[in-house]
Structure 1
């Protein structure tokens, strides 16, 4: 799929989010997989380490109310997000080379198509 022209002044996460409904409507499975995976990797990078937090205890000692157990997520810079997407592209290209070496060119082509979608938005 050829992605529509993107406004490079938009933050990368917003470009990825804007491209997702376009890919869904175009029924481009490779683009949808790549975009969802990249957005998921960004969300996972924002998660904080809970460490050795107490997971159980008395009910009366538990926090109560909506959002009482929520923790603030890590704030990522634009360069952090670009590095995550670049790593996603590199992972796909590496896996594609591995599949190609094993004679699975159809899987390699799909991974390269996913990498091209992400590279076009980077």
Structure 2
């Protein structure tokens, strides 16, 4: 995976306001998405977005839809097949955030959001 695509993906992930740490969200989505094998992409997108809202990980439905779409692209681009792949991706994401911003996602902001 090219560094520029990775960096753009990480920046996009950092732009979402989450109520829980990113690794919690990505692991949860990985498990849920795995149970929807064979579903149409649009149905998966809506189900994942609904899960983000229901679990109170996000409050804005439009952002939840955008995040679920991004998750499906990340899963494909970074070939996240196992939970270990997801955890390695999270580690690289957190390392990127610390390197670029000086603090991990969810820290360093007044309201405690992901940014």
Instruction: Select the structure of larger CA radius of gyration.
Output: 1
Query: Would the TM-score normalized by the shorter structure come out above 0.5?
Result: no
Tell me the TM-score normalised to structure 1 length.
0.31
Tell me the TM-score normalised to structure 2 length.
0.32
